[in-house]
Structure 1
Amino acid sequence: MANGRKPEGNGEPVHFNARMEGINYEILDELVGYAVRRAQLSIYEDFAFSLAAEDLTPQRFSSLVIIENNPGISQTRLAEVMGIARSGVVSIIDRFEESGLVERKESGDRRSYNLHLTREGQKQLKKYKKAVREHDDRIAGGLSAAERQQLIGLLRKIGQHQA
């Protein structure tokens, strides 16, 4: 899956098709969650394909952006912001540290570290941001600027809804 596409049985890549002709989706066509999930799968596929050479996932990219804009953030706080388990953040940070992108600094509490991008991390993130912007422009290419902003606003509103 190095190119972001799932291999078929014969090794050929399979492109995710969010909507197939001739299929009756019934209630699924009326569900916001289903539409969001199908769009997410298409978006993630393009992201993986676009950034395969960088070995970058949306989660890793988001982590770097959060660390850059919140220097000294703790691993625990990063896990909360990302909505993932602390052990998942530790794994991400271990990988970044090995790659020279992030450094852990003592916080005064032996159980906690403050996270900072290294110079190399700042350099790489600048490159990643450019590639992610190009990916985002491509996947939203069918939307006007107003529609794009409206979609972002609507998705934020759904994301903030609490049952």
Structure 2
Amino acid sequence: MENQVHFNARIEGINYDILDDLVGYAVRRAQLSIYEDFAASLAAEDITPQRFSSLVIIGNNPGISQTRLAEVMGIARSGVVSIIDRFEASGLVERQASGDRRSYNLHLTKEGQKQLKRYKKAVENHDSRISSALSASEKQQLKSLLRKIGLREEDR
């Protein structure tokens, strides 16, 4: 991470005013710290959280369509196409024809399965590191609260 400034979630001597009271601001600051650690952990692999999540979803849902993956990931279909193009070029994912000429089913290759296993281990280590200040019950509580925030009002 050369030429990159380390993110400091809290700088002494700065008055954050209302920001200290905002849930969204606290979540965003935590996310920036988490992303920085993730990037450092997987920098050599050229894997971002979005790419990692895509591989996990494809690996656990063989044959998922690009459109469905875009929906699951919450990104535009064109974004998924770009991700899959990269994975296909790297030999991690293959597109298989579906009944629709405009749609492909996605599958991890043997190499994709092997690499995903490595990535999962690195991400598990990253997750343990970034949550090490929390007890097991605090981790569960945090995940539960974040899921609750992430739900749309009509789904609560």
Q: TM-score range by the shorter chain?
A: over 0.9
**What amino acid is aligned across from residue 128 of structure 1 in structure 2?**
Y
SS at match of 2:95: strand
Shift of 1:15: 0.8
Aligned to 1:116: 107
Q: Distance in 2 between matches of 1:36 and 1:18?
A: 11
* Structure 1: unaligned runs, 5 residues or longer: 8-12
Shift of 1:152: 0.3
Aligned to 2:24: 33
Aligned to 1:143: 134
Tell me if 1:56 matches 2:47: yes
Aligned to 1:157: 148
Q: Distance in 1 between matches of 2:121 and 2:96?
A: 28
Aligned to 1:101: 92
**What amino acid is aligned across from residue 108 of structure 2 in structure 1?**
L
* Large movers: runs of 4+ above 4 Å: none
Q: Distance in 1 between matches of 2:119 and 2:99?
A: 32
Aligned to 1:10: none
Q: C-alpha root-mean-square deviation of aligned residues, in Å? A: 1.0
Q: Deviations over 1:115-153 (max 9, x none)?
A: 000000000000000000000000000000000000000
Shift of 1:161: 3.3
* Structure 2: unaligned runs, 5 residues or longer: none
SS at match of 1:152: helix
TM-score computed with the length of structure 1 as normaliser: 0.92
Q: Percent identity, aligned pairs only?
A: 81
Q: Distance in 2 between matches of 1:89 and 1:74?
A: 10
Q: Distance in 1 between matches of 2:145 and 2:21?
A: 16
**What amino acid is aligned across from residue 17 of structure 1 in structure 2?**
N
Q: Distance in 2 between matches of 1:58 and 1:162?
A: 26
Q: How many residues align?
A: 154
Shift of 1:14: 1.7
**What amino acid is aligned across from residue 133 of structure 1 in structure 2?**
E
Q: Deviations over 1:47-104 (max 9, x none)?
A: 0011000000000000000001110000000000000000000000000000000000
TM-score computed with the length of structure 2 as normaliser: 0.96
